Amino acid sequence: MASLVLFLPSSPYSSSPLPPKPQPQPPPPPTPPTPVPAAARPSRLRALFARAAARRDPEPSPAAPAEAAPAAAVEERRSLAAALLLRGTGATRGGGAAVEEVEKRDGVVWEQRPEDVEAERRRRELTSPGFSFSAAGLLFPYHLGAAQYLMDKGYITERTPLAGSSAGAIICAVIASGNTMQDALQVTKDLADNCRSKGTAFRLGAVLRDVLDKFLPDDLHIRCNGRIRVAITQLSWRPRGLLVDQFDSKEDVINAVITSSFIPGYLAPRPATFFRNRLCIDGGLTLFMPPTSASETVRICAFPASRLGLQEIGISPDCNPENRATPRQLFNWALEPAEDEVLDKLYELGYKDAAVWAEQNSTEFIVKNGQPLGID
């Protein structure tokens, strides 16, 4: 009864009738909120986006600011969603400073940090040719064999410019490291054995990173700076090909070649990865065989170039059509680790194809304009 008394308008002992129940009043109309400038609204998501997926897309045209703003908002939401997805899957960010400048060269969008651009300006263009290695998946031994021949015959020296995408980027780092191609072939066999026994998809990236960290020297970045170019595909409103040729550390080089090799959903269980705070995937998507810093680039493709519709390829299985694996075999070996005898065969095929190319280019490529190969 005590609790009931609290809700009655008069004492329970009074004989007077209860007053009529008041009718509810309609709520007042809502007051419109005072608009707050977008820049003044704190947003943890906006800060996350700025850190995780910062980009330098071209500024919108002044002629149509009203149309450009919605497009930019849609792009921000898309990139933010991708960044949050990767954050949830445990993706890690690569080291290095943010890209500051953009150049276009030979139809390639080439983004570099200010110190990278300055280093490129100081470098005199080479008249001797460089060598570019294609994306190849697990056909890595083919590139090892081709590189071995070119090194044996003096086409590739300690200063020859190199470029590569995916597996091609890895071979560039291996050549610059000073390790022998035979040692690299043995490491490739160890990696293949690990993947055959424990699986390839979703874990190849972690295994590859561990192998490269143990195999490559600590001064790798010094050996690579200005000499090798690593192709990467940046994801923005459209995929863009990026070239990187200046590195801060050995880890920075490894991050670059792992990013260049990042086949979505294959190297790791996520759709993309981060490199220098940018959302990126396999460089072969946009730069299958990137240009070197030399005035001429000899391109090396692990697949039959004619079957892919590629032109102006120097070294490929087309050099030796009577002694090569079938395209079906090559594509199968590119995705799943082959047995050791197949890896040895790929190495041999690369060596022989390079030899056939050298028979047709033995004089004009050894010396260009009186300069030995690789001298700058």
Residues involved in catalysis: 166, 282
Q: What's the token pair of residue 67?
A: 């149309």
Q: Which amino acid belongs to residue 204?
A: L
DSSP line for 337-352: PPPHHHHHHHHHHHHH
- CB-based burial label for 18 (10 Å; 0-12, 13-18, 19+): exposed
Unique residue bearing structure tokens 């890209």? 99
Nearest to 371 by CA among 161, 163, 222: 161
Instruction: List CB contacts of 152: < 8 A, sequence separation 6 or more.
Output: none
**Distance, CA of 275 to CA of 281 (rounded, Å):** 9
Cα–Cα distance for residue pair 217/234, rounded to 1 Å: 28
Please state, in angstroms and rounded to a whole number, the distance separating the CA atoms of residues 131 and 150.
10
Alpha helices, DSSP H, located in the chain? 2-5, 44-52, 65-89, 114-122, 140-152, 167-177, 181-198, 204-215, 220-224, 250-260, 305-308, 327-335, 340-360
For CA atoms 80, 88, 207, 113, the dihedral sign is: positive
Give the residues across from 300 on adjacent strands.
133, 315
Cα distance between residue 92 and residue 230, in whole Å: 19
Beta bridge pairs of residue 144: none
In the chain, the amino acid numbered 288 is F
The one-letter amino acid code at 150 reads L
